[in-house]
Amino acid sequence: MSARLIARLDIKGPNLIKGVQMEGLRVMGDPYDFARRYYEAGVDELLYIDIVASLYGRSKLTEVVRRTAQDVFVPMTVGGGIRSIEDVTELLRAGADKVAINTAAVARPDLIAEVANRFGSQCMVLSIEAKQQAPGTWEVYTETGREHSGLDVVEWARRGVALGAGEVLVTSIDREGTRKGFDTDLIKAIAAAVEVPVIASGGYGAAGDLAAALGAGADAVAVADALHYGRVTLDALRQQMQGA
């Protein structure tokens, strides 16, 4: 199976936003317009993350997902503020294909198994926000990179997959929005620990970065900043991936 190219859209309220290391957020526009454009340009999947949902205890993504699903026909993964089977059901009915869960899974790991058992492992994406603590060691953060969990990233990835997660989305907080390249050591560590696909997010900056992420063991790469600002086209990204 060839590597997947995913457009990541971080959402705050009704707006597509972009930050650096999950701070300093800038409003980019209507997420639907960007999703439609990426779909028409041939993206493999879309990843919607409501970046403030876990802080406020609610997700505003249902309407965004429903609107997108009317015109966009590639798989959609949705994350942010998902706490229950009811939340998952609502998003899947709106048109999502998969859910990405971070904060609520850390708080109650059984949620991973519940989602996988009810909807299938392919629907349950374990979302991990990773911050490096020392060489070769990363801690899981929750609440969009704001809160320590005390969990080791690699051990948590292994546990999440054992509970039923069918994919692992790993976002490097250190690299997110910096354009300095993916954290390949982090990708290697997770890919070696689990038998499910790994999605790398955070850090794309230049040609060669995608191939490096795939070479480190990622099965898919999520790009946000470079696409939103028009620094690179999806065609160009696709060609870069073929160099992997």
| Residue 223 half-sphere exposure toward CB, CA atoms < 13 A | 31
10 in active site: yes
Given the residues 44, 87, 97, 129, select the one marked as catalytic: 129
Strands 4-12 and 220-223: parallel
Residues 115, 86: Cα–Cα separation, whole Å: 10
Cα 227 to Cα 28, 152, 165, 202: the distances in Å are 11, 31, 28, 13
Determine whether 129 is an active site residue.
yes
Q: How far apart are CA 140 and CA 219, in angstroms?
A: 21
Tokens of 183: 């954290």
Instruction: Give the residue from 107, 113, 61, 51 showing the smallest Cα distance to 87.
Output: 61
Active-site residue, selected from the candidate residues 10, 143, 176, 209: 10
Whole-number Å distance between alpha carbons of 194 and 185: 15
- The residues annotated as belonging to the active site are 10, 129
